[in-house]
Amino acid sequence: MTEAAASTPEPELGLLGRAIGVITSPAATFAHVVRDPRPAAILLIVSAVIAVAATVPQMTERGRLAALTAQVEFMERFMGEVPDVMYAQMEAQSRNSLAPVWGAVGAFVWMPVVALFFTALLWGLFNALLGGTGTFKQVLGIVTHSMVIMALGAAAAMPIQLMQDSFSFTGPFNLGALVPMMDPESFIVRFLGWTSAITIWQTIVIAIGLGVLYKRRSTGIAIGLLTAYGGLVLIGVSIYSAVVGRMGS
């Protein structure tokens, strides 16, 4: 009886169970994902959540104005004051009834592209350079399931930004909030402002999944991935600061 009980296969998680498990118990959840990746199904759910989060703010006047203001402020950093004619065009485009539709469609187009890009990168790194044996579909399953964290962040950010009447391209969960006393234009504030707590969380979750698949320590993988992420943010902020500084001089 003991041997029979020990050989009984563990029941597979459904999509909802997997989505919740990525948040509450990622290591155990990724054990299921490695056995049965199901990347398409979870990617469809993630894309739908992000599409709603991107669309709803554009359907309200407060959300439309907040997004328009953010676009104008971003452009003014590079080209100075936005001409009245250009502002009028941007304002008219923001009122286009098809704008929310394109935002929703964009989520279903770009999410698969992003998932495939990072899957190819990680699969190539761990298989070609580190001698791993994971399949492309298994890595894709890990990447797409980790996107549940991204969807959760988008869903949580939507009401916060609407209530604040402000829109940020990095979302409200960036680390810039840790240094409110510092100059917003300083390099460190920009670096922290471009560093998303949601992305850090998702990166750690990916590391846990890769650790399960490749039977490596997740801590070491997480350190490597977070270092790469920090390096990319550092490069981006450096280029941005150089361009903005040149425009302002």
Residue 32 has a pLDDT of 95
Q: What is the pLDDT of residues 167-177, one digit of tens each?
A: 666 677 888 87
Rounded to whole angstroms, the Cα distance separating 25 from 36 reads 17
Max avg pLDDT among 18-27, 78-87, 181-190: 18-27
Residue type, 119: T
Rounded to whole angstroms, the Cα distance separating 144 from 33 reads 10
Q: Is the pLDDT of residue 77 over 90?
A: no
Of residues 59 and 119, the one with the higher pLDDT is 119
Across the chain, what does the average pLDDT equal?
84
Q: Is the dihedral of CA 236, 240, 243, 246 positive or negative?
A: negative
Q: What is the pLDDT of residues 81-91, one digit of tens each?
A: 777 778 777 77
Of residues 53 and 213, the one with the higher pLDDT is 213
Cβ neighbours for 233, distance < 8 A, ≥ 6 positions apart: 191, 194, 195
Rounded to whole angstroms, the Cα distance separating 21 from 132 reads 25
Q: What is the pLDDT of residues 128-176, one digit of tens each?
A: 888 888 999 999 999 999 999 999 998 988 887 777 666 666 677 888 8
